[in-house]
Amino acid sequence: MITHSAREIAKEFGPEYWRKKEENEEFAGELMSFAAASVCIARLAISKAVDYSKQRKVFGDVPIGSYQALQFPIAEAYAALEAAKLLNFKTATHLR
C-alpha cells in the first residue's frame, strides 16, 4: 500500500528542495543516479508482478491478474512509479 501521494513527495523533495540545499549540490548527480536506478528497479518489479499475475491460475483456469483485488495495487504501484520518474526528470532539468 502506498502511503504518500506523488504530490506530497514532490512538495517535500521536489526541485525547490535541491535548489535550497547548497550542501547537496555536490551530491545532486549521484542522488539523481540513485533515483533513476530505483525507478528502473521498480519498473522491473512491476513487470515481474504483472507477468506472474498472468501465469498464476486459481479456481481452474482463471489467472489471478483478472481479479480487481490484485489489479488495483499493481495499478497504484505503476502510478507511483510514473510520478517518481517524472519527478526525477523535472528535478534533473532544474538542476542544470
Is 74 domain-assigned? Answer: yes
Is 21 domain-assigned? Answer: no
The tens digit of pLDDT for each residue in 28-66 reads 677 778 888 888 899 999 999 999 999 998 888 888 888
Is 68 domain-assigned? Answer: yes
The tens digit of pLDDT for each residue in 63-95 reads 888 888 889 999 999 999 999 898 888 877 776
Whether 32 contacts 88, CB under 8 Å: yes
pLDDT at 24 over 80: no
Is 18 domain-assigned? Answer: no
Domain around 59: 29-95
CATH of the domain at 74: 1.20.140.10
